Structure 1
């Protein structure tokens, strides 16, 4: 009898230890972010989850629009990206392992994912219509990942080109077999 695998390709015996490690990452991140919120004198709650094989942490609020927490997102999410990296470093300092943790603040990434999905779908349609490459505007790694996922689901190919902060996605029709 073979060993069962999870969707991430792990054996059933490896999966519980991975989940435990991701839960530990989430808890460390939550502690770090709670301290940050206290220092900044901001009200927010921390939601923890495991999504797509990585720890996911979101700062949420029960106050209407979370306008004060949105300051932690910054223009185009650059403050959020920095906070995510600092949180990953805090996790790494405690665990000794690199973290792929995703941080969201008051639903910014969820909203952005929806916007980017629409942009990617339009670009896919254009690449199919013109049978040529379509270059998108510069994006951060999270945004590029969303676009790459949409493109792959559509059966086209995409690559990231350029260097930060001007790295962007190029979408191409799939090569004929």
Structure 2
């Protein structure tokens, strides 16, 4: 019986978080995949792979890359998912890889911080919840991070993709 209990306990344990070297390896695999895509598309870009905030990151910089971002980052989101699949195929482990092209995510993060602060101001001024436009998971995380850093307000996501949005309201 003790052997069965040991097996159950071991099965319930969460897998260890990937090490920085594992995460960097994921970013290298992703960079190779993205480089192959750029070659196929005949696009020029410099690729940096790194680990930031416990996530593998690949950044592509250069001119003429807007087509890889697409309208409101839709193409970038799709490329990120394809790149995550390429990493999974080689490692057998799901990846939280973040792909950025032409600084789009950094710029969008700044825009979303302004949107979040504006929503917080409205909530504090009127005392009523504010519903934001539908956003991608990346965009929602950016807004949640800003709202959660401000006292007196809270945020939550509601709805179903692709119409999932954030609601900012007074804290209870």
Pairwise TM-score range, normalised by the shorter structure: 0.7 to 0.9
Name stretches of at least 5 consecutive residues in structure 1 with no aligned partner.
1-13
2:171 pairs with 1:174:
yes
**Aligned partner of residue 71 in structure 1, secondary structure:** helix
Which of residues 118, 128, 142 in structure 1 aligns to 2:114? Answer: 118
Tell me the CA shift for residue 132 of structure 1. 1.6
Which of residues 148, 151, 156 in structure 1 aligns to 2:147? Answer: 151
Tell me the CA shift for residue 116 of structure 1. 0.5
TM, length-normalised to structure 2: 0.87
CA-to-aligned-CA distance 1:74-102 (integer Å, 9 cap, x gap): 01100000000000010011111110000
2:73 pairs with 1:72:
no
In structure 2, the residue matched to 1:7 is none
Cα distance in 1 for residues equivalent to 2:27 and 2:69: 19
Cα distance in 2 for residues equivalent to 1:56 and 1:128: 36
Matches within 5 A, 1:86-125: 86-125=82-121
Tell me the CA shift for residue 52 of structure 1. 1.5
TM, length-normalised to structure 1: 0.85
Cα distance in 2 for residues equivalent to 1:21 and 1:152: 30
In structure 1, the residue matched to 2:3 is none
Larger Rg: 2
CA-to-aligned-CA distance 1:26-74 (integer Å, 9 cap, x gap): 000000001000000110110112111101111112xxxx2x2111000
Q: Over the residues paired in the alignment, what is the CA RMSD in angstroms?
A: 1.2
CA-to-aligned-CA distance 1:96-123 (integer Å, 9 cap, x gap): 1110000000101111111010010000
Count of residues in correspondence between the two structures: 156
Cα distance in 2 for residues equivalent to 1:26 and 1:32: 10
Tell me the CA shift for residue 131 of structure 1. 1.6
